[in-house]
Structure 1
Amino acid sequence: MDAARRLIRVKGSSFTTQELVKEAGIALQTFYRHFAGKDQLLLAVFEEEIINGAADIDAAMRRLPDPVARLRLFVTGALESLRDLDGDPAHDDPDRGMGPRFVTAEHWRLHQLFPDEMAQVNQPFADLVERELREAAALGLLRPADPASDAWFVMKLVMSVYHHYAFATAGERLEDIAAQLWAFCLAAFNGGGETPPPSLTGTPS
């Protein structure tokens, strides 16, 4: 998998199995003892990337004071890597590596081949949203209709916006797109605002 990541940074997903085993320093038979083929390997790479990404987002969310703020970070922060597409030569080539365009193209290609597996791969993101929705509901901050279902839809919405702007030209600033996305999600959660109740802020009622 580490060898696959190195090749992805250089060639995207166009590397061959022969190139992979050479980069990894293993025999072809060894590769096939672990993976049925290259697509199964890429699926495993996606799974590990999302697990690690979800852990990083979770750590950042836990530094915030309330579940609404943490949800906002999840929704808006997911678009941050799209800054790689702003034309700044200091950024990585967006068509190589695990950049937005590679992630988008491979995500949907693998989804066509392994829809159930890809749904499970993405589940850690939905789990983070559901956790915060349940806490926000318990505190009276938000009124989600069904935290599990709402979390799944939010994850899919955020992914769709990310995938769209990975290729489409944005007519607005990334910050404005993220703000609009968050406002839409907040309304869907029946949130009346972002100010925590007195029990969270310490403000007397």
Structure 2
Amino acid sequence: MSWAEERAVERSAAVRRSRSRIENQVRAILDAAHRLIEVKGDTFKTQELAKEAGVALQTFYRYFSSKDELLLAVIGDGMNDACRQWARVAAELPDPVQRLHFYVTSALGGLNAPPRHGALAQFVVSVHWQLHRVFPKELAAAEKPFVDLIEKEIRAATAEGTLASSDPVADAWLVAELVRSVYHHYAYVPAEDDAREKVWQFCFRAIGGSVA
């Protein structure tokens, strides 16, 4: 190996180490934010967050320009994690309508759950419109994984003839918006026992499903 090749390999290894350190620090900050949200909602200070994450305050501002940007990242992180878990479970279901039902009801499934999940739901509601004003495009991108899951199954079910969507993109967005609105509504009040199924039945009929 030539000197130039050895130098390139050394630099590549340094880049990998640097990237790994950045990923670990960002992960520590996000995990710390999740823990503080369970206790304080969105009222924690950035100094508290840095201490909880075990990083310097300057390190926090190296990755996030503001607390709002961090809160946006927390929502995006939580959405990605939830969608990955739902997709893994839904992969075992035999048809797109069943998978779509699973996604809609699962997104609303934690509203009568233990306090830990309730705190997260209330956090999402409390910061959503604040972030929508500041980061409208970024918030839409953070919430898009759920829309994408829905759109995929609407397309598949329409192709099979079990649904009749003329515009899967618009229908997926509207379903996701309805689910989000119901989620927000019940974050602070007890959910009706059949609220999830009511939402599902409404969505099912709205995109062309029929009950035998």
Q: TM-score of the superposition, structure 2-length normalised?
A: 0.80
In structure 2, what is the equivalent of residue 178 of structure 1?
196
Mapping of residues 56-205 of structure 1, within 5 Å = 56-84=85-113, 91-92=114-115, 96=119, 98=120, 100-170=121-191, 172-173=192-193, 176-193=194-211
Matched, 1:38 2:61: no
Q: CA RMSD in A?
A: 1.7
Give, as a single letter, the amino acid of the residue that structure 1 aligns with 2:209: G
Cα distance between partner residues in 1 of 2:76 and 2:43 = 19
Over 3 Å counting, the alpha-carbon distance change for 1:94 and 1:151 in structure 2 is closer
In structure 2, what is the equivalent of residue 8 of structure 1?
37
Cα distance between partner residues in 2 of 1:143 and 1:46 = 32
Which runs of 5 or more structure 1 residues have no equivalent in the other structure?
85-90, 195-205
Query: Is the 1:12–1:95 contact (alpha carbons within 8 Å) kept by the matching residues of 2?
Result: no
* Structure 1 residues 13-66: Cα deviation after superposition (integer angstroms, max 9, x where no partner): 111111111222222222111110111111111111100101111112111110
Identity %: 49
In structure 1, what is the equivalent of residue 54 of structure 2?
25
Larger radius of gyration: 2
Over 3 Å counting, the alpha-carbon distance change for 1:82 and 1:95 in structure 2 is closer
Query: Is the 1:50–1:124 contact (alpha carbons within 8 Å) kept by the matching residues of 2?
Result: yes
Count of residue correspondences: 183
Write 1 or 2 for the structure with the bigger share of helix.
2
Cα distance between partner residues in 1 of 2:200 and 2:34 = 32
1:94 deviates by 6.3
1:95 deviates by 6.1
Over 3 Å counting, the alpha-carbon distance change for 1:95 and 1:109 in structure 2 is farther
Over 3 Å counting, the alpha-carbon distance change for 1:144 and 1:70 in structure 2 is same
Cα distance between partner residues in 2 of 1:67 and 1:95 = 29
Over 3 Å counting, the alpha-carbon distance change for 1:163 and 1:10 in structure 2 is same
Which shows bigger deviation, 138-147 or 104-113?
A: 104-113
Cα distance between partner residues in 2 of 1:65 and 1:55 = 18
Over 3 Å counting, the alpha-carbon distance change for 1:148 and 1:167 in structure 2 is same
Over 3 Å counting, the alpha-carbon distance change for 1:95 and 1:188 in structure 2 is closer
Over 3 Å counting, the alpha-carbon distance change for 1:42 and 1:60 in structure 2 is same
In structure 2, what is the equivalent of residue 197 of structure 1?
none
In structure 1, what is the equivalent of residue 4 of structure 2?
none
Cα distance between partner residues in 2 of 1:64 and 1:121 = 26
